[in-house]
Chains A and B, each alone.
Chain A
Amino acid sequence: MKTKRNLFLLIVLVLIATYAAHRYVTHNPIPSTAQLKPAPDFTLPQITGPPLKLSDYRGKIVLLDFWATWCEPCRAEIPHLVDLQNKYGTQGLQIIGVSMDDSPDPVPAFYKQFKMNYPVVMGNAQTGEQYGGVLGLPIAFLIDRQGQIRKKHIGATDAAVFEKEVTNLLAGK
Chain B
Amino acid sequence: MPSKRTALLLAIILACLTVATALAFQASQIDSSHTITIDDLLKTLQSSKAEKPLLIHVGSHVLYSQAHIPDSEYIGPASDPAALHRLRTRVESLPRDKFIVLYCGCCPWTHCPNMKPADDLLHSMGFTKVKSLYIPNNFGTDWVEKGYPVAKGE
Bound pair (A, B): yes
Considering the chains assembled together, what is the distance between the CA atoms of A135 and B67 in angstroms? 7
Could you say which of B8, B76, B144 contacts A133, with CB atoms under 8 Å apart?
A: B144
CA distance A68 to B106 in the complex (A): 10
**What's the minimum C-beta distance from A11 to chain B, rounded to whole angstroms?**
7
Chain A neighbourhood of B107, CB < 8 A = 71-74, 136-138, 155
Q: Given the complex, which residues of B lie within 8 Å of A147, measured CB to CB?
A: none
Stretch in B35-43, B55-63, B94-102, B126-134 touching the partner: B55-63
Selected from B8, B15, B79, B139, the residue in CB contact (under 8 A) with A70 is B79
Please state if B1 and A3 are interface contacts (CB–CB under 8 Å).
Answer: yes
* Residue in chain A with minimal CB distance to B1: A3
Q: Closest B-chain residue to A139, C-beta based?
A: B140
Complex-state Cα separation, A145 to B3, whole angstroms? 60
B135-152 CB mask vs A (1 if < 8 Å, else 0) is 001111100100000000
**Also in contact, A154 and B138, with CB within 8 A (given A3-B4, A70-B79):** yes
Query: A38 at interface (Cβ–Cβ under 8 A)?
Result: no
What is the bound-complex CA distance between A70 and B105, given in angstroms? Answer: 13
Q: Let me know if A155 and B137 touch, CB within 8 A.
A: yes
Q: Quick check: is A7 within 8 A (CB to CB) of the other chain?
A: yes
Q: Could you tell me the distance between the alpha carbons of A138 and B63 in the complex, rounded to whole angstroms?
A: 12
Q: Is the CB of B62 within 8 A of A133?
A: no
The reply to whether the CB of B70 lies closer than 8 angstroms to some CB of chain A is: no
Measured between beta carbons, the chain B residues less than 8 angstroms from A129 are 66
Chain B residues near A (Cβ < 8 Å): 1-4, 7-8, 11, 15, 60-63, 65-67, 76-77, 79, 105-108, 111, 113, 137-141, 144
14 more A-B contacts (CB under 8 A) besides A72-B113, A102-B60, A155-B108? A3-B4, A10-B8, A70-B60, A100-B60, A123-B62, A133-B140, A134-B66, A135-B138, A136-B63, A136-B137, A137-B138, A154-B141, A155-B137, A155-B138
Q: List 23 A-B contacts (CB under 8 A).
A: A3-B1, A3-B3, A7-B7, A7-B11, A10-B11, A70-B60, A70-B77, A72-B107, A72-B111, A73-B111, A100-B62, A102-B60, A123-B62, A124-B62, A129-B66, A133-B140, A134-B63, A136-B63, A136-B107, A137-B63, A137-B107, A138-B107, A154-B140
